[in-house]
Amino acid sequence: MLITLRNAILRTTNCIKMLHAKCMSTAVPKEEKVKVSGCNINYVKVGKGSHNLICLPGALGTIWTDYKPQIEGIDKNDFTLVAWDPPGYGKSRPPMKQFDVDFYEKDADYAFNFMKALNIPKYSILGWSDGGITGIIHAAKYPETVQKLVIWGSNSFMLPHELEMLKKIKDIKLWSKKMRQPMIDVYGEELFAKYWSKWVEGMENLFNKKDGNICSELLKDVKCPTLILYGEKDPLVDRVHVSHLHTHIEGSRIHLYPDGKHNIHISYAEDFNKKVQDFLQSP
């Protein structure tokens, strides 16, 4: 009788522990702020692993619009993940971002100083789209801080037809509701429309002033192990960028998603997270 009762108590205790662990794993991380170069940066930090990661969102992107599947899915025992609203985006406002020709480089400097403010001297970078460009520049400028680099949907230069595609989607009313709504939730419809329009104009200005070059001259300076992922049906980034990045970033690796589009980290979240973790943990 006593043994049966003890076993029942142990089972109940284990169930409570498992439930508690599950609740902890699904709890919404607390957003915090830290001042960096005059801007209050909004961020979340999750996990207790020794390998630190910084997640860099795409254009106008934020913690939750761009990295929810990674915040929830990356192994928190092996990794500590930091995701931010880049300066001028999301809750890291004011000030509003100015899309000057060097705004990617400014974001790379912000990311370096941001991680320094968090007292994280060494980390790997996950960069999507614009965030991948920022990540490339960061890895090239601050090689002593970057363990590994993972980029997808990114390019180091712009082709004329890519710029024309951006012009065609300058009006957010042409976006699908599924793609438009998360950004409207962050910025409100009026501000999002204006902000996106300014981003497209910034890209057009960059294209004209730099002959389409964004950061190609820095690829040779990326010395850390690099993984380039790409959705082969990406409507925004031409597949030529994959071979260009792979050719000019020494020792880089490629993984392709044949049916993937621009946001493969969301559409293929489970597989994406596994492949990224395997790369980060490889020798």
- Contact between residue 184 and residue 192 where contact means Cβ atoms under 8 Å apart: yes
Residue 40 backbone phi and psi in degrees, to 5: -85, 105
Active site residue 262: yes
- Bond into 95 cis (ω within 30): yes
- 248 part of the active site: no
Write down the catalytic residue from 138, 241, 255, 262.
Answer: 262
Tell me the three-class secondary structure of 38-68, residue by residue: CEEEEEEEEECCCEEEEEECCCCCCHHHHHH
The label of the residue with tokens 């619009």 reads: 65
DSSP codes of every residue in 95-116:
SPP---TTHHHHHHHHHHHHHH
Q: Of these residues, 234, 241, 255, 265, which one is catalytic?
A: 234
Question: For residue 92, what are the CA distances in angstroms to 32, 52, 188?
Answer: 11, 21, 15
DSSP H/E element including 123: strand 123-128
For this structure, is 171 an active site residue? no
Contact of 107 with 129, CB cutoff 8 Å? no
- Ordered alpha helix ranges (H), 169-263: 177-187, 189-210, 240-248
Q: Which of 124, 129, 154, 252 is catalytic?
A: 129
Give catalytic residue positions. 129, 234, 262
